[in-house]
Amino acid sequence: MSRTKLVLTGNYASAYAVLHSKVEIVPAYPITPQTTIVEKIDEFIETGMLDATMVRVESEHSAMAVAIGASAVGVRTYTATSSHGLLYMYENLWWAANARLPIVATFVTRTLGPPWNIWSDHQDFMTLRDSGWILFMVKDAQEAYDLTIQAFKIAENPDVRLPVGIAYDAFVISHTAEPVELLTQEEADKFLPSPRAIQPLLDVDKPYSIGNLPRADYHYILRKNLWENILDAKKAIREVGREYGELSGRDYSSLVEEYKCEDADTVFISMGAMAGEGMDAVDKLRDKGYKVGHLTIRTYRPFPDHEIKTIAENAKRLIVFSRALSNGKGGILYDDIASTLYREGQRIETYDIIAGLAGTEVSEEDFMKIYYDTRSGKLDTGKSIFIRRGEYV
């Protein structure tokens, strides 16, 4: 059987990945812009293509609670949510990570209200930053498909055992159709182990309880253990990405995607859909003779410290685009990068650009304008600079 290429939205690409991963249970609650993922999965189930149970729960909090229960008995589990749904799910998202459950979820990023807004920024996603979830952010539907399949293999790895989230921007990716090459079912089956290989935490023949009161000293060690495991997970992510590359021809062995960075003196850093605009801007600036590159952060947690360090060894200026804000501090991605540079003892020019909040568009012209203004010294390093549709605000 040969591979098919379908024109799919990001959400349908995620649903196809769930189909090919032979997910067994999908507890989900609808919220724009995530809804069409689970609608499509429901269609796969209803038409007999996918042998799974869809649990129609009364809230996102319950969706993750069902996911926790299912994953604890070793069932391959998937759910998806967005924005206020993600925040409503929040308590159990941390619970899933601390219980070391290999759940996979898609987070379609959407601005938090009030005021009401269904468009993308990364504020909802960033609340998961410290939770212990392995977090990917992808920039197109193909990556959404590819990484969702890889996510199960990473999460279920006995040396990792952490939930994995795949995030992408509302509408720009979730509802925009593009050609996506799918694995055949045989290829996916060969790539992913059977769900029966998942080590269950709960087993009727060998009773355990999860989350009993421990001594604080022991609890501290559990925290340290998760921290070590999520850092070690970089190895598993690279290994699974390499293996997927051999299978599909699309390599994911790096935590980041470098675009024309080799000889660049200035590197844009961004994540999600706006990376496309960043790379277009790089092409235009290169045409004019400027040595510019773009770095896309695809694996957000564990954070690609080593890759950032390598980029900063060659570049003299990093321009970081954050689509989420730590109120009272600065751009969240910027602070991640700045902290890596400080820990590595690297002192180079960095710029904190806040762009695309509340779903405002980020264009290649925005990237170019920022580049020119950093060159001419018009912008301050280290200060949060807000740009909205080409204007500083």
DSSP per-residue letters across 238-278: HHHHHHHHHHHS----SSEEEES-TT-SEEEEE-TTHHHHH
DSSP per-residue letters across 132-152: S-EEEE-SSHHHHHHHHHHHH
Nearer CB in complex with other proteins: 48/211: 211
Nearer CB in complex with other proteins: 208/342: 208
Nearer CB in complex with other proteins: 3/223: 223
**Binding of other proteins at residue 93 (CB under 8 A)?**
no
**Binding of other proteins at residue 343 (CB under 8 A)?**
no
Nearer CB in complex with other proteins: 91/283: 91
Q: Give the largest CA-CA distance in the chain.
A: 70
**Binding of other proteins at residue 98 (CB under 8 A)?**
yes
CB of 101 to other proteins, least distance (A): 10
With residue 109 as reference, give the H or E element that holds it: strand 104-109
Half-sphere exposure of 386 (CA within 13 A, CB side): 7
Are the C-beta atoms of 294 and 335 separated by less than 8 Å? Answer: no
CB of 208 to other proteins, least distance (A): 4
Closest CA to 9 of 179, 241, 169: 179
Binding mask 37-56 for other proteins (x = CB under 8 A): --------------------
Nearer CB in complex with other proteins: 162/318: 162
Rounded to whole angstroms, the Cα distance separating 104 from 94 reads: 13
Peptide bond preceding 158 in cis form (omega within 30 of 0): no
CB of 257 to other proteins, least distance (A): 25
Q: Which of 201, 247, 348, 358 binds other proteins (CB under 8 A)?
A: 201
Nearer CB in complex with other proteins: 184/225: 225
CB of 151 to other proteins, least distance (A): 17
Rounded to whole angstroms, the Cα distance separating 195 from 70 reads: 12
Q: Which of 48, 114, 115, 158 binds other proteins (CB under 8 A)?
A: 158
Q: Which of 26, 37, 99, 332 binds other proteins (CB under 8 A)?
A: 99
**Binding of other proteins at residue 294 (CB under 8 A)?**
no
Binding mask 104-123 for other proteins (x = CB under 8 A): --------------------
CB of 221 to other proteins, least distance (A): 7
CB of 20 to other proteins, least distance (A): 27
By CB under 8 A, how many residues form the interface with other proteins?
25
CB of 306 to other proteins, least distance (A): 17
CB of 243 to other proteins, least distance (A): 17
Binding mask 160-199 for other proteins (x = CB under 8 A): xx--------------------------------------
**Binding of other proteins at residue 100 (CB under 8 A)?**
yes
The values of phi and psi at residue 381, to 5°, are: -75, 150
Rounded to whole angstroms, the Cα distance separating 69 from 66 reads: 5
Query: Where on the phi/psi map is residue 78: left (φ > 0), alpha (ψ -120 to 50), or beta?
Result: beta
- Cα dist from 85 to 58, 116, 162, 282, 331, whole Å: 12, 14, 21, 36, 23
CB of 202 to other proteins, least distance (A): 8
Rounded to whole angstroms, the Cα distance separating 74 from 149 reads: 17
Are the C-beta atoms of 314 and 285 separated by less than 8 Å? Answer: no
Nearer CB in complex with other proteins: 197/222: 222
- Burial degree of 69 (CB within 10 A; 0-12, 13-18, 19+): middle
CB of 229 to other proteins, least distance (A): 6
Binding mask 204-243 for other proteins (x = CB under 8 A): ---xxxxxxxxx--x--xx--x--xx--x--x--------
Apex 86 CA angle, 80 and 92, nearest 5: 90
**Contacting positions for other proteins (CB under 8 A):** 98-100, 158-161, 201, 207-215, 218, 221-222, 225, 228-229, 232, 235
